Amino acid sequence: MRAIAENWGYEEVKTPTFEHTELFTIKSGEAILDELYAFKDKGGREIALRPELTAPVLRMYVNEMSVSPKPVRLYYFENCFRYERPQKGRFREFWQFGVELIGSDRAEAEAETIALAAALVSDTGIGIDLRIGNLGVLRGVLYDLDMQMQTDAMRLMDKKDLYGLEMLLQDHPDVKEQLLSLIDADIGEARSITGDTQPLEEFEQTLSVLDHYDVEYEVDFGIARGLDYYTGMVFEMYASGLGAQNQICGGGTYRLAQLFGGAETPSCGFGIGFDRVLEVCEVEPPRVPLAVVVFVPDVLSDAVRIATRLRKDVRTIIDISGRKFGQQLKHADAIGADYAVIVGAKEVEAGMVTLRDMQTGEQEMMGFEDAVVHITDTETASHHETAYPRKE
């Protein structure tokens, strides 16, 4: 994911694990306090472990990068924290990979953001369902309602609570009918419902540019992203195999910089729930053989030297428990080592090592470099299956 983001011109940034609590309540409202790990530090400051990365990155942008050439393309991969009930694909500590494109909300910028998200997730081999909507179109339908009712309607839509939406709008039958019709509408149907509005025209421009990227998607005006700072285009991605928590990516166009003391700056971005990606993707880590240096006490210095040289190319351990020679070999077998590199008096005298294949039991004295080549040869190493858990 890092390689893909960098190939698209994005640079990695890192922010502190904790921030001032106000940073998140300004952005998401006081209700988010129930979901935060918030506390006072020794100086009496209200501090919170970050629940997401958009606000910290925008705070950093305002403080350090606001005079940089626009647009600014940033990405991050960090852990976040939310105080909520853990369930499949949803943890109190979780990892987020995300992107912020700061300084443009043109159709080209929105399309790039969506296409990059699709490229990042698709490269893992996960089949995705990408859905794109536009909040400006929805807000146009809700325009005549008071602000609180608009906010409540958007949040009910975000939760897919259509019954609650109907109850909320029961005294506004025309708005209710338009909104419920819009949820399942395509672009043509949306135009007949709302007319040729500016938000709909801008949305069509974004989709037109996105079509150049050959990204498969569906228009879904039911996507509301229940946070007030989103301004126009919004999108979500879903993956099978995660049950109810099947959303793995969400994002859209927003304006946040002014909340943190900066100039009003159009931006696009998204976050990928990395833990959820790991639940459903299959990643085969590179197979790295494990070698154990087995030695007798008299040649400790030679064994350490050989282990040090091996570690430049091979995953290598050496006995540090004072085991006897035979016990070292048994331990190598117990931990699933692929090879034992035996260092004894005759090997040191000959300037060689004895390489033992732990699966077949065959062994041969050879030069050190030949041993390294033999261990790292992929055709030789690929047949080794080990019960020892690998954590690459």
SS3 sequence, the chain? CHHHHHHCCCEECCCCCEEECHHHHHHHCHHHHHHCCEEECCCCCEEEECCCCHHHHHHHHHHHHCCCCCCEEEEEEEEEECCCCCECCECCEEEEEEEEEECCCCHHHHHHHHHHHHHHHHCCCCCEEEEEEEHHHHHHHCCCCCHHHHHHHHHHHHCCCHHHHHHHCCCCHHHHHHHHHHHCCCHHHHHHHHCCCHHHHHHHHHHHHHHHHCCCCEECCCCCCCCCCEEEEEEEEEECCCCCCCEEEEEEEEECHHHHCCCCCEEEEEEEEHHHHHHHCCCCCCCCCEEEEEECHHHHHHHHHHHHHHCCCCEEEECCCCCCHHHHHHHHHHCCCCEEEEECHHHHHHCCEEEEECCCCCEEEECHHHHHHHHHCHHHHCCCCCCCCCCC
Which residue's entry shows tokens 């904790």? 18
* Residue 228: predicted pLDDT: 65
The reported pTM is 0.81
201, with CB counted inside 10 A (0-12, 13-18, 19+), is exposed
* Residue 226: predicted pLDDT: 56
Ranges under pLDDT 50 in the chain: 378-392
* Residue 233: predicted pLDDT: 94
Q: Which residues contact 103 (CB under 8 A, 6 or more apart)?
A: 70, 71, 72, 265, 266, 267
* Angle made by CA atoms 179, 180, 182, in degrees to the nearest 5: 65
Contact 93, 87 (CB under 8 A): no
pLDDT tens-digit series, residues 314-340: 999 999 999 999 999 999 999 999 999
Contact 220, 185 (CB under 8 A): no
Domains, in order of start, for the chain:
2-280 (3.30.930.10), 308-381 (3.40.50.800)
* Residue 382: predicted pLDDT: 47
